[in-house]
Amino acid sequence: MAELRRYGGMPLPAEAAAIWDDIWHTEAHNSTAIEGNTLVLREVEALLEHGKAVGAKPLSDYLEVLGYGEAAQWVYAQASSIDGYGGDELITVTEVRGVHEQAMRHVWEVSPHPQARPAEGPGGFREHDIHPIAQGTKPPPWVEVPGRVRSWVDAVNAFGAALCIIGPGSVAAQDIPVRLAEIHCEFERIHPFLDGNGRTGRLVLNLVLVRLGFPPAIIFKRDRAKYLQALQRADRGDYGLLAELIARSVIDNLHRFVVPGIAGPRRLVPLQSLADDDVSYNALRQAALRGRLDAHQGSDGMWRSTKAAVEAYLANRYRRNGSSERSG
């Protein structure tokens, strides 16, 4: 956290819109895909940006992504200001239920859980006992859920308070990923809702992260098997693999925000970070696709370029535009 504040803290969504939007699309796509959603990234972008249902997928898939996207937008809006987290509550029980309600309300209208009682809809805790889930975790009886969620919230807030302590009782930087893994695993262990626990668990983890001044974590669908294995190991008390997954994702997204601000003009950075009032991310991506901007697409699908390359592209673009106008 101290290193992040050296560079002015995390930019708010309004201050780095292109990067936040890319993270938004990527998270909504991958987090729902882990649960079996069939929309590809292009379809997710069209739905979240323009409200268009591109493709011919089941209606429930579009509504699932739409709800997740709305919940993620709310989470991102809680991103810390430059002053950073000051020891207040990181999360409340009401917010946990609210995140689930936002994520599930659209899809529930057309595809509710077949066994749901009236009180078990979006935002309502389960009133059913659940058999052990895929990775072997056995959730507690439903009557224990409200108390277990309250204890989970208390533990999260105690973790946040400990981060603000200097000296005995503080949390060492190297222990933060492990503590975050514990938080995420315990939520999934409680399984407080009849459906949507994985999606809600990843959203509330990101709520904790952004309020601490960190970027969100994204678990990619390609890492689904590794993620489930990490949860299984965490349920047995070994948090290392899950902590690594979370830490790597946070660091990757942190580089999207921080590196462009301190990088030299010829250092490759994510293309989204080079967009500004003069040129949008979509314009830069189109220029890259047409070969007009010196840019490179990595194995992760992300386009990267340099400040110098964008400046050269803009200079040539304006020169061409000026020539056309003069010749006309």
For residues 94-108, average pLDDT: 98
Q: For residue 134, name the pLDDT band (cuts at 50, 70, 90).
A: low
CA–CA dist 275, 108 (Å, integer): 37
Please check whether residues 197 and 319 belong to one and the same domain.
no
Percent residues over pLDDT 70 in the chain: 84
Using alpha carbons only, give the angle 248, 251, 255 rounded to the nearest 5 degrees: 140
- In angstroms, how far is the first alpha carbon of the chain from the final one? 55
Judge if 304 and 255 occupy the same domain. Answer: no
Query: Confidence band (pLDDT; 50, 70, 90) for 132?
Result: confident
Range of the domain at 274: 268-327
Cβ-in-10-Å burial (0-12, 13-18, 19+) of 27 comes to buried
Mean pLDDT to the nearest integer, 138-144: 95
| Confidence band for 82, pLDDT divided at 50, 70 and 90 | very low
At 105-120, the pLDDT tens digits run: 999 999 999 999 999 9
More confident residue, 169 or 219: 219
pLDDT, average across residues 175-181: 95
Residues 290 and 187 in one domain: no
Give the per-residue pLDDT at 328.
33
Pairing mode, strands 296-297 and 303-305: antiparallel
Q: Check pLDDT > 90 for residue 155.
A: yes
272 and 300 both lie in a single domain:
yes
Domain edge (last residue) among 244, 261, 278:
261
Q: Provide the β-strand partners of residue 269.
A: 305
Residue 137 shares a structural domain with residue 175: yes
Residues 307 and 234 in one domain: no
Residues 191 and 281 in one domain: no
- Using CA atoms, how far apart are residues 47 and 41, in angstroms rounded to an integer? 10
pLDDT of residue 324: 39
Instruction: Identify whether residues 108 and 27 lie together within a single domain.
Output: yes
Instruction: Please check the confidence at residue 263 and state whether its pLDDT lies above 60.
Output: no
Residue 109 and residue 35 share a domain: yes
Tell me the pLDDT band of 71, cut-offs 50, 70 and 90.
very high
CATH number of domain containing 211: 1.10.3290.10
Digit-coded pLDDT (tens) for 210-261: 998 889 999 999 999 999 999 999 999 999 999 999 999 998 888 777 666 5
The total number of structural domains in the chain stands at 2
pLDDT for 15 equals 61
My answer on whether 235 and 305 are in the same domain is no
83 and 24 together in one domain:
yes
d(CA 199, CA 203): 6
pTM comes to 0.80
Of all residues in the chain, what percent carry a pLDDT higher than 90? 57
pLDDT surpassing 80 at residue 87: no
Tell me the average pLDDT across 148-168.
88
**pLDDT value of residue 163:** 86
Tell whether 295 and 155 lie within a shared domain. no
